[in-house]
Structure 1
Amino acid sequence: MVEKEASTFKTTLLRPENPGKDDSWAFLVLPKAVSDKLPRRGRTSVQGTLNGHAFQATLEPDGQLSHWLKVSKKLQKAAAASPGDVVAVQIAPADPEPEPQLPDDLQDALAAAADAKSTWEGTTTIARLDWIHWVESAKQAKTRQRRVENACEMLASGKKRVCCFDPSGYYSKSLSAPKAKD
């Protein structure tokens, strides 16, 4: 990957303290100076290399105006990297921003609401990414359900951007990088 906007850095690959059911993934946190070069503080898609192995991924906001990257077992294996290793990373913003994967519950709700779906299709990829992020950032199933319903109502009324949502997590402290296992 050779791009003028690419950033290169080294960092330690970390094992999450609470990986959930799938304990094969690892993560890394971008240095703030690298994150500052990205186009936004919220979810941002990048292309890059990890120890020279190419990947494309969506960075998550860490709540500190930076980002973190979930590194799958497949990417770890391809890059010959394990948690605890110092890895070489090169990243640049994906151009164009890829279309985000629509969660099933939101997809079903939009399919049942023609006006909401019409507005959805008229929004930008970044706006759709923010809507999805807002829905997925709910911590409880009940809150997520309410957000899906509210999203459809707001979209049906012509609203193209989700309001009152800090996609960086900085002001609400609702988003953060995983805690690393000691």
Structure 2
Amino acid sequence: MASNKVVQFEAKVLKPKQSSEGDSWGFVVLPIEISNVFPRRGRTSANVLVNKHQFQQLLEPDGNKSHWLKLTEYNLNAASIHYGEQVTLTLSPVLVEPEPELSPNLKAALDSAPKALATWELTSNTAKIDWLHWISSAKQETTQIKRINQAVDMLSEGKKRVCCFDSSGFYSKSFSAPIAAD
């Protein structure tokens, strides 16, 4: 169970060096002492307040035992935030992790495998987030499809957690915060 501790800190809103064409978003990297309020180093949801705009967002692991926060174009606009601006953020862990959204490919695979779907439905939302993170962390679509098939096989066997996946990226260095534009 997550704590209900509320933390506040100031951070500079960074623009990512690389983003999809037409995709405008920003990010902040959480100081480790702020990240420590959250129940895990992997993906975890946070209640966020910035410039009187409140929203819920999934924090991403930065590979250094902390997190980074993506600020979507909608949230940047709603909070009147600009790149390079210093903002005060108020964060708190969500008390119950929300049900994650499935990709169409995973949903179709689970729908076609009753045993896997039954295990999925009994799996905690935190573990589901790890399954989705493991699948989506593959860089190539063919690898993602392979992981979906592996997930269905493991879930069909009754496994509720993805095996041997470092969701923090710390030990494998597979995750990091985006690189900021100059």
1:118 aligned partner: 118
2:103 aligned partner: 103
CA distance in 2, matches of 1:98, 1:90: 20
Instruction: Report how far residue 154 of structure 1 moved.
Output: 0.2
Question: Could you say if the C-alpha distance between residues 24 and 91 of structure 1 is closer, same or farther in structure 2, counting changes exceeding 3 Å?
Answer: same
Counting aligned pairs with the same residue, the percent is 47
* 3-state DSSP of counterpart to 1:134: helix
CA distance in 1, matches of 2:145, 2:37: 35
Instruction: Report how far residue 36 of structure 1 moved.
Output: 1.1
CA distance in 1, matches of 2:139, 2:44: 21
Letter in 2 for 1:130: D
1:164 aligned partner: 164
CA distance in 2, matches of 1:36, 1:132: 23
Structure 2: 5+ residue runs without aligned partners?
Answer: none
2:88 aligned partner: 88
Cα deviation, 1:32-88, whole Å, max 9, x if unaligned, reads 110011100000001120122111110111111111111112111121111100011
CA distance in 1, matches of 2:155, 2:127: 11
Question: Which aligned pairs between 1:56-75 and structure 2 lie closer than 5 A?
Answer: 56-75=56-75
Question: Could you say if the C-alpha distance between residues 110 and 4 of structure 1 is closer, same or farther in structure 2, counting changes exceeding 3 Å?
Answer: closer
RMSD in angstroms over aligned alpha carbons? 1.2
Structure 1: 5+ residue runs without aligned partners?
Answer: none
CA distance in 1, matches of 2:172, 2:108: 29
Query: Is 2:31 the partner of 1:31?
Result: yes
Instruction: Report how far residue 4 of structure 1 moved.
Output: 5.4
TM-score norm. by structure 2 comes to: 0.96
CA contact 1:52–1:88 (8 Å) conserved in 2? no
Instruction: Report how far residue 143 of structure 1 moved.
Output: 1.1
Question: Which aligned pairs between 1:141-160 and structure 2 lie closer than 5 A?
Answer: 141-160=141-160
